[in-house]
Amino acid sequence: MSPQVILLFSGKRKCGKDFLTDRLKEKFGEKCEIIKISKPIKSHWAKENNLNLNELLSDGEYKELYRLAMIKWSEDMREKDYGCFCRAACENALDKPIWIVSDVRRMTDIQWFKETYGELVKTVRLIADEETRIERGFQFKEGVDDVASECGLDDYNEWDLVINYGKEKHSLEEQLESIATLMPNL
């Protein structure tokens, strides 16, 4: 079954994207597939440089070591074809009714999904205050936090849902409920 809804999640580093989308996956279980645009980037990067892909995909210090270089390389690839990583990520995804894309970073990511899947696409922005992000492990890095991969969607204001995931956050159950309203038939 091809996707009936595609939720695109965006938010700055350590705002909790992986955490919340993992909880969503637990709630919707077999109905849903998590897609990471960064996965084809990391697979390619790991192969070329002989690195551990699982470590790169997980949350931790290891991925931080390579983040800057991966951003630069992927930027060059995107200049040639802005949809290349989105397409690769979707081609490798299982056919489930709900697709959750947990790391949307650029206008062109949203553009590609909307051009490709139209009305199925819903966008969600997570926001969290800096103090909370620091508690979750955020440290400002030049070349990472001040470039398009982090700031590309700062001025986008057509989100279907904005979730405060910082100090003032609602309970997890309420957050998940508000996300569920984006897919009333599932």
Ligand X SMILES: Nc1ncnc2c1ncn2[C@@H]1O[C@H](COP(=O)(O)OP(=O)(O)OP(=O)(O)O)[C@@H](O)[C@H]1O
Q: Which residues belong to the annotated binding site for ATP?
A: 12-18, 136, 175
State the amino acid at position 184 in one-letter form.
P
User: Which is nearer to ligand X, 71 or 120 (by Cβ)?
Assistant: 71
**Neighbour tally for 98: CB within 10 Å:** 21
User: Which is nearer to ligand X, 29 or 137 (by Cβ)?
Assistant: 137
Contact between residue 40 and residue 92 where contact means Cβ atoms under 8 Å apart: yes
With CB under 6 A as the contact rule, the residue among 11, 41, 89, 166 that binds ligand X is 11
User: Which is nearer to ligand X, 140 or 186 (by Cβ)?
Assistant: 140
* Residue 156 backbone dihedrals phi, psi, to 5 degrees: -75, 130
Instruction: Give dist(CA 108, CA 127) in Å, integer.
Output: 20
Indicate whether 16 belongs to the interface with ligand X (CB under 6 A): yes
Indicate whether 19 belongs to the interface with ligand X (CB under 6 A): yes
Residue 170 tokens read as 């609602």
Instruction: Give the interface segment with ligand X, choosing from 8-16, 26-34, 73-81, 153-161 (CB under 6 A).
Output: 8-16
Q: Which residues contact 144 (CB under 8 A, 6 or more apart)?
A: 13, 67, 68, 71, 150
Residue at shortest CB range from ligand X: 136
Instruction: Give the interface segment with ligand X, choosing from 9-17, 73-81, 86-94, 176-184 (CB under 6 A).
Output: 9-17
With CB under 6 A as the contact rule, the residue among 15, 35, 86, 153 that binds ligand X is 15
CB of 145 to ligand X, least distance (A): 10
Instruction: Give dist(CA 177, CA 182) in Å, integer.
Output: 9
* C-alpha to C-alpha distances, 43 to 35, 94, 125, 140, nearest whole angstrom: 14, 17, 26, 25
Residues at the contact surface with ligand X, assessed by CB under 6 A: 11, 13-19, 59, 136-137
